[in-house]
Amino acid sequence: MKILRTPDARFENLADYPFEPNYTVIKTHDGDDLRIHHLDEGETDRPIVLCMHGQPVWSYLYRKMIPHLTAAGMRVIAPDLVGYGKSDKPAALEDYSYERQVEWLGAWLDANDFTNITFFGQDWGGLVGLRLVVNHPDRFDRVVISNTGLPYNPDVPAEVVAEIEDFRANKPTPTIIEMQQALGQMTDRTHAATKFAYWQKFCWENEDLPVGFMMSMTMENRSNAARAFKFLLHKLGMRSPFPTSLARAYEAPFPDSSYKMGPRAMPSHVPTLPTSASLDAQGKAWEFFESFEKPFLCAFADDDPVTSGGQTEFLARVPGTKDLPHTTIKGGGHFVQENAPEQVSKVIVDLIRST
């Protein structure tokens, strides 16, 4: 396996990211060394909050929450998924899968021997982290999730599967604007897997996925004129001559397109179809959570177009959700860590203190 490592110089002078790196080396399935980075902030004898990020971001996402959590007496552990941030980056698309991310982070978890963990996960951080809870239940005391899920879709109609597979194999790659327009034109009756296929295809087939640009457009307030200008530059294949500090930080892990295989590949491994290689594992994970009685709290945003209503299935099926103060994060968008860090941190701290 060819493995890339982002030079340290790419991470120098990032805004609001003063944290010291910590590294753990694990073995891949074929015996190669794979280095995983994590943050470790707060006193070592304090309650551990394991904060896991999604795609296409990294532990920089937690820079606003860490001060709130450590000030409340928590120890924050925030790893970078393999392929992201300061963690190593396998160089081939086929190196990545849902199951390998679970395997890699499980080996990292065992190597560091973290216990009595409160897990917090959002986006892919939830998909991977919830599976860590399944595979290492004795290490976890409670769970908090936001804007994520545990997708398991064994009953998608065959005609929908065929339509999606044809779209992903044969249709032109959508531009970012075409993707947004297509999603906006779909109705509530459009199957969720059909909608998500646009994001999967966009990421998979864009060799130089514009991570910094996308995160800037998603997370930062801009005037309509400024947004239009940036989209025009992107359409013309040009980068902004003056990227914001946030855009620079989210682009930092990727010196060139060869480092972006993780963010490109991971959406295609979300198990939205019954043909997914993770179907059986996801079914077993749901069987586990249907008897999970430790505290399990949902804190989804009120304005996330990606995971709206995603908490409903957890509230209905997970016993540990009963009688807990499930919270709606106001104005959090998809990335609640960026847009509502104080709200999310309070939810986590209050749960730990009350249980």
DSSP 329-342: BTT--S-HHHH-HH
Q: What is the pLDDT of residues 169-178, one digit of tens each?
A: 999 998 888 8
294 in the same domain as 330: yes
| 136 catalytic residue (yes or no) | no
171 in the same domain as 146: no
Residue whose token pair is 């003056």:
242
In the chain, how many domains are there? 2
Q: How far apart are the first and last CA of the chain?
A: 44
Provide the pairing of β-strand 140-146 with 117-122.
parallel
219 in the same domain as 170: yes
Tell me the whole-structure pTM to 2 decimals. Answer: 0.93
Exactly one of 80, 88, 95, 123 is catalytic; name it. 123
| 304 catalytic residue (yes or no) | yes
The pLDDT of residue 176 is 84
147 in the same domain as 39: yes
Q: In the listed set 250, 269, 288, which residue is the last one of a domain according to the structure?
A: 269
Exactly one of 68, 234, 269, 334 is catalytic; name it. 334
The pLDDT of residue 24 is 98
The pLDDT of residue 324 is 98
Q: What is the pLDDT of residues 240-290, one digit of tens each?
A: 656 899 999 999 999 999 999 999 999 999 999 999 999 999 999 999 999
Domain CATH for 59:
3.40.50.1820
180 in the same domain as 40: no
Q: Could you list the residue range(s) of the whole structural domain that residue 253 is in?
A: 158-269
223 in the same domain as 193: yes
Q: Which residues in the chain land under pLDDT 70?
A: 184, 186-189, 222-242
Q: In the listed set 269, 287, 308, which residue is the last one of a domain according to the structure?
A: 269
Backbone angles phi, psi at 75, to 5 degrees: -105, 125
285 in the same domain as 261: no
| 123 catalytic residue (yes or no) | yes
296 in the same domain as 217: no
Q: In the listed set 213, 234, 269, which residue is the last one of a domain according to the structure?
A: 269
131 in the same domain as 209: no
